[in-house]
Amino acid sequence: MTSNASQPDWVPPEGGEGFATRIVAGGPASAARGRVRSAARELGAPELAKRILAGDRVALARGITLVESRSAAHRLAAEELLALVNDRAGGSLRLGITGVPGAGKSTFIEALGSQLCEDGWHVAVLSVDPSSPVTGGSILGDKTRMERLSRHPHAFIRPSPSGCELGGVARRTRETIALCEAAGFDTVLVETVGVGQSEVLVRDMVDCFLVLLIAGAGDELQGMKKGIIELADLLVVNKADGDNRARAEAARLDFSRALHYLAGQEGAWHPPVLTCSAQTGEGVAGVWETVEKFIDQARARGDFEVRRGTQQLTWLQAQIEEGLKELMLSDPAVRAEQAEIVRLVVAGTLPPAAGARRLLAKIAKK
Ligand code: GDP
């Protein structure tokens, strides 16, 4: 395999070094299970909460493993833990970062995170990387990412739990954010790959959503970006260095023009488009200044509180829906009825609406 074999399709033939990238095949993280078992056995939720609140990294990692677990017993312990640390959650600035594979997300987070740590911030980096339902592989699952940042005493990096569905990933990430905040992290960077639905989920759990772009990435990608761009609070064209500087600047102007047509209400925040080089660090401080400006304005307008409140509600609804589904499928009689209804609906003998009503009636009787 040549080194180009792992480059995505949109890398232009003349793209040069600036487009160097790779996609790493991932796999399910089943190894976590054993660790949860021992964590739950050794420490109860109150002790774990106490240690997390004292800033103990090992306890934090265990707490996260607990919220990632799918076992019902762990779920109860996780809920108890979350309730115990609840008063100390919510205190961080939550920044979401998305971009296609190869846009430079991990290089950018390494540069920004290291700078923030130097400035005295405590930075947690989380990834939302739902594994492909087809291959089970993950796109962010590269163990060598953000090496420098991971060694900084103020930083905490937690790779995504893979092998779970989108809804589960969202819940676990929200809970992980809360645990990191309880442990004293005042900045949480949530990274996600901009190739599917995960960026919409992440937009729903952060205070500011940043889209990292690259110049000359091709029509296919531009199409993909359209939906994402509308979610962005801030756009950054990365890799503005060397031969690529002029192209990055031209892309910045293109995106600014495109955004002009999406302009929101009078007086509202207009997402700016910036350029930076995550590799040289140029422009990264400016990106952070813009994030802070956005947050300041959102706080002054009251938008910050509204957004957080809406996100709490979304979280509540997602939890209720997840619980209902679990409740429903835990009953063998309901499962059997569901299988029968599915068979009839697929065969065309029962209309879907009537099938749904029949199943709901069965659940209501329970
Ligand atoms: P991710 O997949 O979005 O996390 O992208 P990476 O951070 O892994 O970066 C993909 C490739 O682009 C790597 O080879 C990086 O070294 C390179 N890269 C990232 N940022 C820059 C940049 O600002 N300038 C240049 N020239 N290359 C960069």
Residue 117 and residue 255 in one domain: yes
**List of residues 6+ apart from 210 with CB closer than 8 A:** 95, 96, 97, 98, 232, 233, 234, 235, 236, 287, 291
What distance in Å separates the CA atoms of residue 123 and residue 154, rounded to the nearest whole number? 6
What is the per-residue pLDDT for 256? Answer: 86
Residues 334, 257 share a domain: no
Take atom 18 of ligand 1 and give the residue whose Cα is closest: 104
Rounded to whole angstroms, the Cα distance separating 91 from 241 reads 35
**Ligand 1 centre from 275 Cα, in Å?**
14
What is the model's pLDDT at position 19? 47
Q: Residues 93, 188: one domain?
A: yes
Does 287 share its domain with 317?
no
In a domain, 203, yes or no: yes
Of 51, 86, 121, the position where a domain reaches its end is: 86
What CATH code is carried by the domain that includes residue 33? 1.20.5.170
> Is the pLDDT at 13 greater than 90, yes or no?
no
Q: Are residues 226 and 327 in the same domain?
A: no
Ligand 1: centre distance to CA 8 (Å): 13
**Which residue segment(s) compose the domain that 36 sits in?**
28-86
Write the DSSP string, 272-341: PEEE--TTT-TTHHHHHHHHHHHHHHHHHHTHHHHHHHHHHHHHHHHHHHHHHHHHHHT-HHHHHHHHHH
More confident of the two residues 117 and 161: 117
State whether 169 and 274 are in the same domain.
yes
Work out which ligand 1 atom sits closest to the CA atom of 238: 23
- Tell me which of 91-100, 153-162, 238-247, 306-315 is least confident: 153-162
Say if 3 falls within a structural domain.
no
Ligand 1 centroid from CA 346, angstroms = 47
Strands 123-128 and 155-158, how do they pair?
parallel
Tell me what pLDDT residue 130 has: 60
Task: Look at the chain and report how many structural domains it folds into.
Answer: 3
pTM strictly above 0.85: no
Domain holding 327: CATH number? 1.10.287.130
Tell me, yes or no, whether 249 and 126 share the same domain. yes
**Residue 115 CA, ligand 1 centroid: distance in Å:** 17
Nearest to 234 by CA among 108, 354, 327: 108
Q: Which residues form ligand 1's pocket by a CB distance below 6 Å?
A: 17-18, 20-21, 99, 101-107, 238-239, 241, 277-279
- Residue 105's pLDDT is 92
Q: Calculate how far, in angstroms, residue 216's C-alpha sits from the geometric centre of ligand 1.
A: 15
Are residues 233 and 270 both part of a single domain? yes
Of 40, 51, 46, 33, residue with least CA distance to 80:
46
The 10s digit of each residue's pLDDT in 183-205 is 999 999 999 876 667 778 888 89
Q: Is 53 contained in some domain?
A: yes
Q: Which atom of ligand 1 is nearest to the CA of 100?
A: 3
Res 262: pLDDT: 67
Instruction: State the chain's maximal CA–CA distance in angstroms.
Output: 69
When mean pLDDT is compared across 3-12, 71-80, 229-238, 252-261, the lowest value belongs to: 3-12
Where is the domain boundary, 254, 281, 301?
A: 301
Residues 73 and 108 both lie in one domain: no
**What stretches of the chain show up as alpha helix (H) in DSSP?**
32-42, 45-53, 57-68, 72-85, 105-118, 147-150, 166-182, 198-203, 219-229, 245-260, 284-301, 303-329, 332-347, 352-365
Q: pLDDT by residue (tens digit) across 20-59? A: 444 444 444 444 444 555 544 567 899 999 999 999 999 9
Contacts of 56 (CB under 8 A, 6+ apart): 183
Q: Whose CA is nearest to atom 11 of ligand 1?
A: 21
Residue 23: per-residue pLDDT = 42
Judgement on whether residues 121 and 215 belong to the same structural domain of the protein: yes
Mutate to test the pocket of ligand 1, among 10, 279, 280 (most ligand atoms within 8 A of CB): 279
- Please indicate, yes or no, whether residues 169 and 241 belong to a single structural domain of this protein: yes
Closest to 149 in 3D by CA, of 181, 111, 186: 111
Residue 321 lies in a domain: yes
Task: For the sheet with 155-158, list strands across it.
Answer: 155-158, 123-128, 187-193, 93-99, 208-213, 234-237, 273-275
From ligand 1's centre to the CA of 18, what distance in Å?
7
Compute CA distances 302 → 156, 265, 297, whole Å.
30, 16, 8
Give the distance (Å) from ligand 1 centre to CA of residue 101: 9
In a domain, 15, yes or no: no
Q: Are residues 129 and 242 in the same domain?
A: yes
| Ligand 1, pocket-test mutation among 3, 21, 238, most atoms within 8 A of CB | 21
Buried b (16+ CB within 10 A) or exposed e, 60-71: bbbbbbbbbbee
Would the pLDDT of 180 be above 70?
A: yes
96/170: higher pLDDT: 96
The residue that leads in pLDDT, 265 or 338, is 338
Q: Is residue 7 part of a domain?
A: no
